[in-house]
Amino acid sequence: MALIVHKYGGTSMGSTERIRNVAKRVAKWHRAGHQMVVVPSAMSGETNRLLGLAKELAPGKASPSYERELDMLASTGEQASSALLAIALQAEGLQSVSYAGWQVPIRTNNAYTKARIESIDDARVRADLDAGKVVIVTGFQGMDDAGNITTLGRGGSDTSAVAVAAAMKAQECLIYTDVDGVYTTDPRVVPEARRLKTVSFEEMLEMASLGSKVLQIRSVEFAGKYRVPLRVLSSFTPWDIDIHEEAASGTLITFEEDENMEQAIVSGIAFNRDEAKIALRGVPDKPGIAYQILGAVAQANVEVDMIIQNISKDGRTDFSFTVNRGDYAKIMDLLRSSVIKGLGVEDLEGDTKICKVSIVGIGMRSHVGIASKMFRALSEEGINIQMISTSEIKTSVVIDEKYIELAVRALHKAFDLDQPATA
């Protein structure tokens, strides 16, 4: 008998029919002798519906007291779906109880709309499990020290599930979603893309941060920190599929490097269409310049992704970075109106028609020549590389947006990702 955490996304909870299927699946696991904690998301569309109402009332408003109310509002979606799942489980003949975040309690800091979990008291949940109940822990939400409801940001139910699994030392946390695992790249772009049976925590972190939207990145960080075995799998298999088959399906995110994992050098190709490039040319090369530019960007609460500064020439350098495309106009205005004035920058230019493509693989740590193989594959397709950034387990390039599919397909083939990896 093991303690297992299941997490079901909004699509899996999207109708009473689907909720009933979730209940039947959970009941199967319970009857197989497992103690079950289930973390559901809000029914699909519900969070958007609620936040849409708020936006109608207060377009563009943002303050802590406003965001506090957004959390009061948005948290109701998950509370409702949790209660519905408990009801569906009872209809299956099981004992079941649902808890809102504050009832567990899941304690967070008070950063409304993007709070971080600080602690989870599992006494209440554990007592129910020991009494034979299936416990539903409402995802996406918690409570701050002053008793206010907080939410964890988009996709926060993943983080709730992993955090509960960590706090309760669950044997495994299964994230049921509308895809059946993590792929070498997006199958809509490369039909030959292959599902990975395992992927390392570090690779998953890079893939998530690079736009593979299977898991909220914070949940992966959490899983890494507490070494929670995490599996991404499909909620669209029949609920009565053999439990051993189900338990081995999807993609397992691993932490042990000596596990029997696939030993591909590159595990996947990630890409992101949602970036824009900003370049400051002829920046005087003196201390503090990077801070003067990016400090202002950070103060505007905009996240910067890639940052490139080349060696200088004649006392001047080029400084470029990428931001989310939605922040592009705001940052260009900011730079024009205040930042670059005092710096003596020669030119400011930007481009929204770019994309980022990355190869990710834990094997890159110990293999040389991987980046150059990437560059060659792109060059063979006539694709010009505008920016390059590397980390220990990934290499990213910025290219013209129009080449994105071509680049991804070329790289997928160059690294033999359509072939099963050799062990």
* CB-nearer residue toward its own copies: 22 or 414: 22
* CB-nearer residue toward its own copies: 81 or 249: 81
183: contact with its own copies by CB under 8 A: no
CB of 35 to its own copies, least distance (A): 18
**Which letter does DSSP use for residue 92 in this model?**
T
CB of 147 to its own copies, least distance (A): 6
- Measured distance CA(67)–CA(45) in Å, rounded: 20
103: contact with its own copies by CB under 8 A: yes
- Measured distance CA(387)–CA(397) in Å, rounded: 6
CB of 87 to its own copies, least distance (A): 5
Choosing from 68, 356, 409, 412, the residue that interacts with its own copies (CB under 8 A) is: 68
- Measured distance CA(245)–CA(248) in Å, rounded: 5
Tell me, by CB under 8 A, how many residues bind its own copies: 42
Options 147-155, 243-251, 328-336, 390-398: segment touching its own copies (CB under 8 A): 147-155
402: contact with its own copies by CB under 8 A: no
Q: Which of 405, 349, 346, 351 is nearest to 378 (CA)?
A: 405
Choosing from 48, 110, 148, 312, the residue that interacts with its own copies (CB under 8 A) is: 148
82: contact with its own copies by CB under 8 A: yes
Choosing from 72, 247, 290, 406, the residue that interacts with its own copies (CB under 8 A) is: 72
**Tokens coding 301:** 């609460």
CB of 79 to its own copies, least distance (A): 5
Query: What does residue 333 show for φ and ψ, rounded to 5 degrees?
Result: -60, -45
Site string for its own copies, 16-45 (x = CB under 8 A): x--xx--x----------------------
239: contact with its own copies by CB under 8 A: no
338-357 in b/e burial notation, b at 16+ Cβ within 10 A? ebbeebebeebebbeebbbb
241: contact with its own copies by CB under 8 A: no
* CB-nearer residue toward its own copies: 82 or 254: 82
- Measured distance CA(297)–CA(288) in Å, rounded: 14
Sign of CA dihedral 321, 325, 328, 331: negative
65: contact with its own copies by CB under 8 A: yes
Choosing from 48, 95, 324, 352, the residue that interacts with its own copies (CB under 8 A) is: 95
Sign of CA dihedral 246, 247, 248, 254: positive
Options 88-96, 199-207, 238-246, 283-291: segment touching its own copies (CB under 8 A): 88-96
* CB-nearer residue toward its own copies: 102 or 176: 102
306: contact with its own copies by CB under 8 A: no
80: contact with its own copies by CB under 8 A: yes
* CB-nearer residue toward its own copies: 95 or 171: 95
Pairing of strands 106-108, 251-254: unpaired
Choosing from 90, 110, 171, 292, the residue that interacts with its own copies (CB under 8 A) is: 90
- Measured distance CA(81)–CA(46) in Å, rounded: 10
- Measured distance CA(371)–CA(358) in Å, rounded: 10
198: contact with its own copies by CB under 8 A: no
Gap between the terminal Cα atoms of the chain: 31
Query: Is residue 93 within 8 Å of residue 133, measured between CB atoms?
Result: no
CB of 346 to its own copies, least distance (A): 44
Alpha-carbon distances of 249 from 180, 199, 252, rounded to whole Å: 8, 13, 8
Residues ≥6 apart with Cβ < 8 Å to 181: 195, 196, 232, 233, 234, 249, 250, 251
130: contact with its own copies by CB under 8 A: no
List residues near its own copies by CB under 8 A: 16, 19-20, 23, 50, 53-54, 56-58, 61, 63, 65-66, 68-70, 72-73, 75-77, 79-80, 82-84, 86-88, 90-91, 95-98, 100, 102-103, 147-149
